[in-house]
Amino acid sequence: MSDAETQIKQTIENNDVVLFMKGTASAPMCGFSSRVASVLGFMGVAFRDVNVLENEDIRQGIKDFSDWPTIPQLYVKGEFVGGCDIITEMTLSGELDKLFDDKGVAYDKEAAEKIRAANG
């Protein structure tokens, strides 16, 4: 197992919610990463952000780890959930709320409803 793979695995195991993204939650470096980080932030979800631009081994390693070609990538309680389009769809359909409920992840239900109301 490579150092990058070990680091990725440990990060996912040691944090309930992890977003592998371009940039950071406070300074996203792409629109897709910004959208997912903003949704999580607005919903009050505590998450660990991993800036893949800081380490090429992590950037490629997370794609290999998940067998998913794009970034951002969201993990909840060790499970790969998806990228920007999937997270957007899940947020608007209420599936993301259900996932957080099922996994025991705290979030602001009213904020989730506001996102749906604003985009409905």
Question: CATH number, domain at 34?
Answer: 3.40.30.10
Which two tokens mark 21?
A: 């993204």
Q: What is the pLDDT of residue 5?
A: 94
Q: What is the pLDDT of residue 120?
A: 77
Binding-site positions for [2Fe-2S] cluster read: 30
| Closest to 1 measured CA to CA, from 51, 84, 64 | 64
Please identify which residue in the block is written with the tokens 């599936």. Answer: 95
For residue 25, what is the DSSP state?
A: S
At 81, the amino acid letter reads V
Find the domain containing 92 and state its range.
3-119
- 39, 115 Cβ separation under 8 angstroms: yes
- Number of structural domains (the chain) is 1
Q: What is the pLDDT of residue 95?
A: 98
- DSSP strand E in the chain: where? 17-21, 48-51, 73-76, 79-82
Q: What is the pLDDT of residue 107?
A: 98
What are 67-96's pLDDT values in tens digits?
Answer: 999 999 999 999 999 999 999 999 999 999
Q: What is the pLDDT of residue 56?
A: 96
Binding-site positions read: 30
- 82, 93 Cβ separation under 8 angstroms: no
Structure pTM? 0.96
Query: Which regions of the chain are under pLDDT 50?
Result: none
